[in-house]
Structure 1
Amino acid sequence: MTTRVMRSDEWSKPPRPVHREVIEAEPPAGGANDRPPVLFVPGLGHGAWAFAEHWLEHISQRGFRGYSMSLRGHGGSGPAPDARLRDYVHDVTQVAAGLPRQAVLVGHGAGALVVAMAMARYPVKAGVLVAPVFGGLGTAFGLLGSNPGGTLPGLFGGRVTLSRDQLFSKALAAGAGQAYAQRLQRVPGAVQRQLLTRHEPEAPVGNPPVLVVGSPDDRIVAADTLTWVARRYGGSPLLFPGMGHDLMLDARWQEPIDAIADWLEKVG
């Protein structure tokens, strides 16, 4: 992987300013103040709430100051019906640059792709890619196979609708899964079209440690995709069998975030 220094399109046509929602959780009094802040970046359709539900508070209890943000057009951030991936990358780098210390970036789904792209612009302390969606026809066909009715409109500029069964394991109460699925927001058509192409982000600045986390039972991200992404960063994926795509909201949500916190403690 290589890093591009000049990005003329970004300085000639910068993303427009927008309000960004950021939710914060502080460690208990007397916690480990020397640890890097952790910024959670949700996937498409999800807002900051997706991490604030469980992982944000839990990572703060492990001694890390946690932040969860909403990309533009999501959650409580400003509207952006014409957003593209580069706009999301801009949002992440701007929020990360405003944190008190060099941050750990944790991205989920297509938010993991945004984090991977942001790591080529912002020197992270470490990166964590959870159930990463890097796009490509394989992702589109996988979605079509598991939910054709909800996916097909997206191929023609309409809304992609993810079902409860695509996002969660059967261990999560049906009512809870359905409620989460109903909170997902519309994704701009331009971004959906961008994800029809597989993306290979530039190399991270400074060669930071990167962890890939997922489930072999994910109905959106195939196991070989997890392996492919992990190998790009010189490792193997950390797998949690029996869980769905939204690991941070599924029934066994605590297992992945504890494993991530353990890993962060080791890499320092």
Structure 2
Amino acid sequence: MLLGLHCPTFGWQVASASSHQRSDVQHICRATLQSLPATSLRLRSGVILEVCRLQGPKGNNLPPLLFLHGSYHAAWCWQDKFLPYFNEAGFDVTAISLRGQGRSEVAPGQKDGGTIRSHADDLAEVISGMDQQPILISHSLGGLVAQRYVVRMEADEKERPALRGLALLCSMPPSGNNGTAGRIMRTTPLLGARLTWGFITKSFLRSQTACKEMFFCDDMPEAELARYQQLFRTQAAKVPVVDVRSLNSNLPLPKPDSLACPVLVVGSSNDRIVDEAGVRETAAHFGSQPLMLPDLAHDLMLDTRWRSAAQRLEDWILKSVLKA
């Protein structure tokens, strides 16, 4: 049970609304970051996590959607477009910020947000407070946390709450990102060097060119790019989301013994951080076929053609999860 919840009690009764009945989501998105509620919840450990939630209309039993971000991001990356889009479709939608990211706290004296296991345990605590099994939608390093969520690697691990579905968007593969980084360095060494420098020095906080190259397609409008770069700055991580050395020592992740829910693995054709080979590795890990989306970069939830990613995700939910 979640303790000290500083937002309305988790109640996930929602109503359906077909996509063609939506109001103009593009119009909604312009004011989203100011209008969506940012609340918080206190974990049993005492650490407070940032929670952004839009409750769906009452009267239906659609599963809730829970969104999980990656490195250098926080709940804000879902607030601008995906949360209002899926809420308009009738879903109860929630995004959380991992420890030390966005407005989430970190344990006193801790130099990083935790391990992928501790983040998975936090996720289990969040999900245990939900009225229904959620569809977990994860991105980048958040995808690796989601993959860790569905496996038990240590003797003291308890079984975590079940999921209704799992979507891995531009996810770090189960072996980590060393394979992708090595392939990029071999095929396009200058790009590989710029990306490595960008992550080490956080150059994307200072340079719009670096920000676009790392996360977005080349046709991202300058005004939108400047707005997102400002959000990267204002919502900057208090500490690294994980300690990379300890992360690599716990990889590759094993395959889950049994996973009853449908799994969707999505990649972007213009992703410079997770390449197609990395996406295919993740899909093979779960015995599924990858879905590669054209003309999108790593941050497909914010990119110029974000709507095409949202529509394909919604289509999978309606056809593969709700009818399963």
Counterparts in 2 of 1:217 and 1:194: CA distance versus 1, 3 Å: farther
Alignment of 1:188-203 (within 5 A): 188=240, 190-196=242-248, 198-203=251-256
- Give 1:193 shift: 2.8
- Partner of residue 196, structure 2: 151
- Give 1:190 shift: 4.9
- Partner of residue 12, structure 1: none
Alignment of 1:22-101 (within 5 A): 22-28=51-57, 30=59, 33-79=60-106, 81-82=111-112, 83-101=114-132
- Partner of residue 138, structure 1: 179
**Separation in 1 of the partners of 2:247 and 2:222?**
29
Contact 1:140–1:196 at 8 Å: present in 2 too?
A: no
Of stretches 175-184 and 55-64 in structure 1, the one that deviates more from structure 2 is 175-184
Counterpart of 2:53 in 1: which secondary structure?
A: strand
**Separation in 2 of the partners of 1:147 and 1:177?**
22
Contact 1:22–1:69 at 8 Å: present in 2 too?
A: yes
**Separation in 2 of the partners of 1:203 and 1:145?**
37
Please, what TM-score do these two structures have when normalized by structure 2? 0.69
Alignment of 1:1-268 (within 5 A): 16-28=45-57, 30=59, 33-79=60-106, 81-82=111-112, 83-120=114-151, 121-134=160-173, 135-141=176-182, 142=184, 145-146=190-191, 148-149=193-194, 151-152=196-197, 159-162=201-204, 163-184=211-232, 185-186=236-237, 188=240, 190-196=242-248, 198-203=251-256, 206-266=259-319, 267-268=321-322
- Give 1:151 shift: 2.2
- Tell me which structure has the larger Cα radius of gyration: 2
**Separation in 1 of the partners of 2:163 and 2:58?**
26
Contact 2:179–2:278 at 8 Å: present in 1 too?
A: no
Contact 1:40–1:106 at 8 Å: present in 2 too?
A: yes
Q: Write out per-residue CA displacement over residues 149-192 of structure 1, whole angstroms, 9 at most, x where no aligned residue.
A: 562486xxx55555321100122113322432453334528533
Counterparts in 2 of 1:151 and 1:196: CA distance versus 1, 3 Å: farther
Counterparts in 2 of 1:93 and 1:159: CA distance versus 1, 3 Å: farther
**Separation in 2 of the partners of 1:179 and 1:147?**
26
Please, what TM-score do these two structures have when normalized by structure 1? 0.83
- Give 1:213 shift: 1.1
**Separation in 2 of the partners of 1:166 and 1:214?**
15
- Give 1:71 shift: 0.4
Structure 2 counterpart of 1:192, one-letter code: V
Which sections of structure 1, spanning at least 5 residues, go unmatched?
1-14
Counterparts in 2 of 1:183 and 1:101: CA distance versus 1, 3 Å: same
Contact 2:115–2:243 at 8 Å: present in 1 too?
A: yes
**Separation in 1 of the partners of 2:302 and 2:246?**
26
**Separation in 2 of the partners of 1:149 and 1:169?**
16
Q: Write out per-residue CA displacement over residues 201-231 of structure 1, whole angstroms, 9 at most, x where no aligned residue.
A: 4416543110011212210011111111112
**Separation in 2 of the partners of 1:166 and 1:264?**
29
- Give 1:196 shift: 4.7
**Separation in 1 of the partners of 2:243 and 2:203?**
14
**Separation in 1 of the partners of 2:196 and 2:105?**
26
Structure 1 counterpart of 2:317, one-letter code: L
**Separation in 2 of the partners of 1:26 and 1:65?**
5
Counterpart of 1:71 in 2: which secondary structure?
A: coil
**Separation in 2 of the partners of 1:138 and 1:199?**
11
**Separation in 1 of the partners of 2:67 and 2:212?**
22
- Give 1:264 shift: 1.0
